[in-house]
Amino acid sequence: QQCGIGVGAQLIGAITIGDNTKVGAGSVVVTSVPANATVVGVPGRVVAIRNPDTDTVERLPDPVGEKLESLERRVAELEQHLAIVEGSKDEGI
């Protein structure tokens, strides 16, 4: 009941979609989804669960986003290191 299914979303297989669930446009849901959840992606994964009693939203970890942030930090570190190495080379060290 009261579910929102985005344009082009696909619900595949014998799955259950809980009440008050939102499925993002273009998502492909292949596993059952709990009530009050928000699902996005291919394959669809739960990214948030709303507590209807307190009207708060619990954000779930985003492993892809965390990995990208980690890689961005590492690239920045390597760029700093490269600048030091290239600066040393220019000074004839």
What does the H/E/C string look like for 45-61?
Answer: EEEEEEECCCCEEEECC
pLDDT in tens, 34-68: 999 999 999 998 988 887 777 666 676 777 888 99
Query: Are 50 and 66 part of one and the same domain?
Result: no
User: Sign (positive/negative) of CA torsion 13, 46, 44, 17?
Assistant: positive
28: containing domain: 4-59
In terms of domains, do 50 and 68 share one? no
Q: Residue 93: is its pLDDT beyond 70?
A: no
Q: Residue 37, SS3?
A: strand
Residue 11: pLDDT band with limits 50, 70, 90: very high
pTM of the entire predicted model: 0.61
**69 plus 41 within the same structural domain:** no
Predicted confidence at residue 56, as pLDDT, reads: 67
Same domain, 30 and 67: no
In this predicted structure, what is the pLDDT of residue 31? 94
Q: Which helix (H) or strand (E) holds 71?
A: helix 63-90
The pLDDT-based confidence of 10 (bands split at 50, 70, 90) is very high
Q: Are 37 and 28 in contact (CB under 8 A)?
A: no
Judge if 67 and 53 occupy the same domain.
Answer: no
42 and 82 together in one domain: no
Residue with tokens 């060290």: 93
Same domain, 43 and 70: no
37, 46 in Cβ contact below 8 A? yes
Indicate if 23 and 47 belong to the same structural domain: yes
